[in-house]
Amino acid sequence: MKIVSWNVNGIRAVVKKDFYGFLDDCDPDVLCFQETKADPEQVQQALGSMLGYELYAHSAQRKGYSGTAIATRVSPLAVHYGLGLAEHDTEGRVITAEFPDFFLVDVYTPNSGAELLRLDYRQQWDLAFYDFLKKLEADKPVLVCGDMNVAHTDIDLAHPAANYNKAAGYMQAEIDGMDRYLAGGLVDTFRYFYPDKRNEYSWWSYRGGARSRNVGWRIDYFLASRAFMPRIKEAFILQQVLGSDHCPVGVVVE
């Protein structure tokens, strides 16, 4: 079972950029999207040619903002939207698909913003999301994927010293949030397989030719319950796939 996650920075835009060529080449069983910038009906229209996939979408109240979606060839037992908390469920940031032996959680974590105006909210979100995952995990293992908007360690971005505690995505408060997930029993699947690998990023600024120079950040993840790790056979980053300022990341589940 190949599961792929991609922040597409607009689902209606990405389908015009050889999305279906990527789909044919990658052939995922499940494809999780973040930042769809579309309501469920628009997602259905954009992805209507994904034959054989069931589509589920969650949108923000604000039009053209945020949003998540899951396309799956494997029918889930159930699909749930949001965290069940009104203060966190207006931006369409979480979809949970329940399968017989695990929960798949698609998340688009709030960005603290260029001026760090949402850093306090981001910390509240990280704690609420952690609690949400632990409640799921009491029932069965979780596999969490998506744009988590944080580079965890200094090998997860090209210029750590210049960005530490200065830029959204590499603030200590955000790193602390990722530390909480990992200390709480989740495993960063890519680092499990490649603990020291450098220059593997999933997001690049559109400015200054950052992508062509590979001046990037690894902020897209698959986190798995420790009990689920024997099922994870591979983790990968598809840096060659264009169409967004992020590239897809994925895992292979036995």
Tokens of 18: 């050889």
Q: Is 245 flagged in the annotation as binding?
A: yes
Q: Is 234 flagged in the annotation as binding?
A: no
Q: Is 88 flagged in the annotation as binding?
A: no
Q: Is 149 flagged in the annotation as binding?
A: yes
Run of H or E residues at 250: strand 249-253
Of the candidates 39, 106, 126, 147, the residue annotated as catalytic is: 147
Q: Which residues contact 76 (CB under 8 A, 6 or more apart)?
A: 54, 97, 98, 99, 104
Give Dmax over CA atoms of the chain in angstroms.
47
In terms of Cβ atoms closer than 10 Å to its own Cβ (0-12, 13-18, 19+), residue 46 is: buried
Q: Which residues contact 33 (CB under 8 A, 6 or more apart)?
A: 5, 6, 7, 8, 11, 43, 68, 69, 70, 71, 106
Query: Known catalytic residue: 164?
Result: no
Query: Known catalytic residue: 147?
Result: yes
Query: Known catalytic residue: 130?
Result: no
Nearest 10 degrees: Cα torsion 138, 139, 143, 146: -80
Of the candidates 56, 108, 201, 221, the residue annotated as catalytic is: 108
Helices 119-137 and 172-183 meet at what angle, rounded to 10?
Answer: 10
| Residues placed in the known binding site for Mg(2+) | 7, 35, 147, 149, 245-246
Residues annotated as catalytic (active site), given as ranges: 108, 147, 246
| Residues placed in the known binding site | 7, 35, 147, 149, 245-246
